[in-house]
Amino acid sequence: MNIELKIAVIGGGNMGAAIASGIVTKGVLPAERVTVSHLKAGLTLPEGVHTTRNNVDAIAGADLVVVAVKPWLLQEVLAELTPHIDAERVAVASVVAGVDFATLGEWLTTSKGVPALFRVIPNTAVSVGQSVTFVAHSGATAEQLDVVNHLFGALGVVYNIAEEQMQAATALASCGIAYALRYVDAASRAGVEAGIEPNMALDIVIETVQGALSVLRHSGASPQSEIDRVTTPGGITLRGLEAMERGGFSAAVAEGIKASK
C-alpha cells in the first residue's frame, strides 16, 4: 500500500479509535498519516496519531474519510464536511449502520458531484483485530476498493457484499457477537449450577468454544458433521442436544437472526 495515503477518522469513540489504532499497530500506515477527531475521554491511540476537535481540520489532505459517529449525528457531521471534500479525489467510508447509499449520496453531494462511497460494518471484535467486516461500495474505483479492503483487512476478515445484503450480514456478525456470548453466558452459568467455580466455568466454556471453532476451521467439515463425531447413540451429548432442542435452541437462534434483519 502507498504509505503516502492519508486517512481521517471522524469520531474517536470506541469504534473509531479501534479502527485508527488497528491500522497503525498492524503497520498498514504510519501514525503520522492518520488523524482522529473528537477522541473519547479515556481512550488512547498509538503515539504519533494526530487528534483534533475540529472535523474540517481532520480531513485536510485526507484521501479517505472514515465517518464513525452516532447515527443521529451523521447528517449534521456530513453537512459540515461536504463543502471541504474533493469528490474527484476523496473517498468516504461510513461505519454507521442503517444509512444507505442513496441517503449518503444526498448528504454528500459536492460541487464536483458525489465522492466514492463505502459502507463498512465491522463488529466489536475490531478492538482485538478479529472483526468480521462487511464492505459495500458505490462509485469507487478498483484501487479505492483495494485500499479499503487492505485497511480493514488488518483488523480481521473482510467480505465484499452488495448493499442489499448488509442487514442480513450485520445480523450474523455484528449482532452475532451478542448471540455467541449469550451461549457462553448461559453455558457457564449452568456450569456453576453444576458445581464448578464461576471463573473456572467461564474459562472452560471460552476454551471449549475456541476449540470447537478451531476444529471446524481445520477440518473444513460442516458443523453437523463435527457434532456427529461427538455424539454417540444414547450418550450424554445426545441427551444434552435433545434437551436443548426441546427448549427450542436452534429455532430460537434462527428467529433471533431473522429478527435482527
- Model confidence pLDDT, tens digit, residues 110-125: 989 999 999 999 999 9
Note whether 183 and 106 are same-domain residues: no
Grid cell, residue 85, equals 471534500
Note whether 125 and 216 are same-domain residues: no
Per the structure, how many domains does the chain have?
Answer: 2
Note whether 210 and 122 are same-domain residues: no
Domain that holds residue 180: 169-260
For residue 81, tell me if it sits in a domain.
yes
Note whether 47 and 128 are same-domain residues: yes
Note whether 12 and 141 are same-domain residues: yes
- Lowest mean pLDDT of 3-7, 101-105, 165-169, name the range: 3-7
Note whether 87 and 153 are same-domain residues: yes
Report the 10 Å Cβ neighbour count for 185: 13
Q: Which amino acid is at 89?
A: R
Q: Which amino acid is at 168?
A: A
Q: Rounded to whole angstroms, what are the CA distances from 101 to 60, 125, 147, 154, 163?
A: 24, 25, 19, 25, 8
Q: Determine contact, residues 87/112, Cβ cutoff 8 Å.
A: yes
Note whether 225 and 194 are same-domain residues: yes
Give φ, ψ of 50 to 5 degrees.
Answer: -80, 145
- pLDDT of residue 3 exceeding 70, the answer is no
Residues recorded for the chain? 261
Position 1 confidence tier, pLDDT thresholds 50, 70, 90: low
Q: What is the pLDDT of residue 2?
A: 60
Note whether 146 and 248 are same-domain residues: no
Last residue of a domain, one of 131, 161, 191: 161
The C-alpha atoms of residue 260 and residue 155 are separated, in whole angstroms, by 24
Grid cell, residue 56, equals 474540517
Note whether 201 and 132 are same-domain residues: no
Note whether 156 and 179 are same-domain residues: no
CATH number for 126: 3.40.50.720
Full-model pTM: 0.91
What mean pLDDT is predicted for residues 75-98? 96
Last residue of a domain, one of 161, 192, 225: 161
Note whether 178 and 136 are same-domain residues: no
